Chain A
């Protein structure tokens, strides 16, 4: 075997390695960009310190079936005495850990997730503004929220009448009050 042959084989090997290194990311996985992109967007709004486990599970089931992205949204309420664009650190202290908990659980199910935060004079106003700003294919809410803390029955009726997209309202099961909260969050967020 001549020296030229050895050089050509070695150079080909190096070029092949560089090409493989360029096209394949570490661990041999396909880059995430080449995975099919989710097209449907499922909004999962909440206001309190926990969300219904049934709503969460329904969102995950639908997202898996429809190749959708779950968008948990914390609805923050701005008191009338403050400007609408005011920071809300106290509410965020409870809302952000819950967003993190929901994101972690959704991600561990292999479902894409992207959080949102809505801000308004009431939970309904915050949701209204969120729906005005972005399109969501489906909205999943639970009817078992504390009406003093979260979406009231009036808000749910408004949602059915006025909100675009499909609305899924889950009635509470009397024997199932499981909830997802920030308790037991993996690490600090």
Chain B
């Protein structure tokens, strides 16, 4: 993809140096109460002491006295009042911030949805305008608000987060700072009344703020930031140093993609589970491919196994592909190339008989046809010597 086609690419940004875009530092956390706003205010004070013109564009203290105290000394742009369904709502005043034109603006809760009637639907769109005006921004975000993680977090916690932002916003931040504390420490803060008012503590502990939820959210936040750093590092290394087209190649190279070859036999489920686990560890997408012989008919058993494989693929979030060909190697190579696979996962072949023994093994044929793609053969652990017996 060229930078012209993608105005959000770093290459495109660097191609328009005439108007300086503001610099955004985003404080990312696993949940409310980890200290994102507190850290944002601390950095605001540090910048002010360094002589910069700093204002608070929007602050949500959630009734936390320590946060309110920390905000003292930083000028605050008054909020704008909006009437909506016979209620008066207070929102960030974008126009007032743009008129005030500070060097640095602090904007809490980036994923917030604005009241109807304002310039933009979402606060991150307001922030885009602030950045476009050359104002630097410090902002905060919880990981569950990222669009791509929304379903996963709903499954985890049973709570659907309504306010989401596109993942690209995280990618556009110049710096992402992870505010991390252990789940135990966060629960201690919650119980001490430092996160929510006393009347909301029990409900929070019984719903979202369970230790298993927090542990999983923490892992998601850590992974997200790690991926972000990895992607940025590769892009930064390439942009400007060689042809800009390499930047788009780099983005492709960051993402791993696994292709597991399956057949509708019982052992295929084990292979799919292994492939899925590897995909999870790599943060990669998983495709399953069955190369079906032309006109091949399936017995009832095989049809049941195929349906079970499709169900497994669906639950795991993998894509099941069924292709017809009498040349397995060529078809796999074609699909791997089409899907951008970086790993091929195969099971142990059934013992060859007769002249088939003279054929080059599938793994070797794949390695010859797909240079640069890893090929992994999954063993049957139950056959391993010394495996645990019941």
B388/A186 in contact, CB under 8 A: yes
Given A87-B315, A117-B311, A189-B277; A105-B270 close (CB under 8 Å): no
Given A87-B315, A108-B389; A21-B270 close (CB under 8 Å): no
Q: How far is the CA of A100 from the CA of B307 in the complex (A)?
A: 19
Interface residue from A81, A89, A104 paired with B158 (Cβ < 8 Å)? A81
Closest Cβ of chain A: how far from B322's Cβ, in Å?
A: 18
> Nearest residue in A to B382 (C-beta to C-beta)?
A107
- Could you list 8 further interchain pairs (A-B, Cβ under 8 angstroms) beyond the known A26-B351, A92-B316, A105-B388? A21-B357, A25-B353, A56-B390, A89-B317, A100-B270, A105-B389, A117-B311, A189-B273
Which residues of B in the span 317-360 have a Cβ within 8 Å of any Cβ on A?
317, 351, 353-355, 357
Tell yes or no: B231 within 8 A of A by CB. no
Q: Given the complex, which residues of A lie within 8 Å of B160, measured CB to CB?
A: 81
Tell yes or no: A12 within 8 A of B by CB. no
Tell yes or no: A114 within 8 A of B by CB. yes
Tell yes or no: B314 within 8 A of A by CB. yes
Tell yes or no: B155 within 8 A of A by CB. yes
Interface residues on chain B, number (Cβ under 8 Å):
40
6 contacts between A and B (CB under 8 A): A81-B160, A93-B280, A100-B273, A119-B311, A119-B315, A186-B381
Given A82-B151, A96-B273, A119-B311; A25-B351 close (CB under 8 Å): yes
Tell yes or no: B156 within 8 A of A by CB. yes
Tell yes or no: B223 within 8 A of A by CB. no
A89/B388 in contact, CB under 8 A: no
Q: Which B residues form the contact surface with A (CB < 8 A)?
A: 151-152, 154-156, 158, 160, 216, 266, 269-270, 273-274, 276-277, 280, 304-305, 307-308, 311-312, 314-317, 351, 353-355, 357, 380-384, 387-390
Q: How far is the CA of A143 from the CA of B354 in the complex (A)?
A: 52
Which residues of A in the span 11-64 have a Cβ within 8 Å of any Cβ on B?
18, 21-26, 31, 53, 56-57, 60
**Interface 1/0 per residue, A89-111 and B, CB below 8 Å:** 11111001001100111011100
Q: Given the complex, which residues of B lie within 8 Å of A96, measured CB to CB?
A: 273, 276-277, 316
A108/B315 in contact, CB under 8 A: no
Interface residue from A60, A78, A186 paired with B387 (Cβ < 8 Å)? A186
**Interface 1/0 per residue, A178-189 and B, CB below 8 Å:** 001000101111
Given A93-B280, A104-B381; A23-B273 close (CB under 8 Å): no
A90/B152 in contact, CB under 8 A: yes
Interface residue from B269, B276, B382 paired with A114 (Cβ < 8 Å)? B269
Q: How far is the CA of A119 from the CA of B384 in the complex (A)?
A: 32
Given A82-B154, A86-B151, A109-B390; A23-B353 close (CB under 8 Å): yes
Closest Cβ of chain B: how far from A75's Cβ, in Å?
A: 11
> Nearest residue in B to A73 (C-beta to C-beta)?
B308
A92/B276 in contact, CB under 8 A: yes
Q: Given the complex, which residues of A lie within 8 Å of B382, measured CB to CB?
A: 103-105, 107-108, 186
Given A18-B354, A22-B354, A100-B273; A76-B381 close (CB under 8 Å): no
Tell yes or no: A115 within 8 A of B by CB. yes
Interface residue from A79, A89, A105, A180 paired with B316 (Cβ < 8 Å)? A89
Tell yes or no: A113 within 8 A of B by CB. yes
A88/B311 in contact, CB under 8 A: no
Q: Given the complex, which residues of A lie within 8 Å of B353, measured CB to CB?
A: 21-25, 31
A90/B273 in contact, CB under 8 A: no
> Nearest residue in B to A103 (C-beta to C-beta)?
B270
Q: Given the complex, which residues of B lie within 8 Å of A90, measured CB to CB?
A: 152, 155-156, 216
Q: Given the complex, which residues of B lie within 8 Å of A60, measured CB to CB?
A: 390
> Nearest residue in A to B153 (C-beta to C-beta)?
A90
Tell yes or no: A7 within 8 A of B by CB. no
Given A108-B389, A186-B384; A117-B315 close (CB under 8 Å): yes
Q: Given the complex, which residues of B lie within 8 Å of A180, measured CB to CB?
A: 390
> Nearest residue in B to A188 (C-beta to C-beta)?
B277
Closest Cβ of chain A: how far from B311's Cβ, in Å?
A: 6
A114/B305 in contact, CB under 8 A: yes
> Nearest residue in B to A105 (C-beta to C-beta)?
B390
Tell yes or no: A177 within 8 A of B by CB. no
B154/A79 in contact, CB under 8 A: yes
Given A21-B353, A104-B382, A184-B388; A87-B273 close (CB under 8 Å): no
Q: Given the complex, which residues of A lie within 8 Å of B389, measured CB to CB?
A: 105, 108
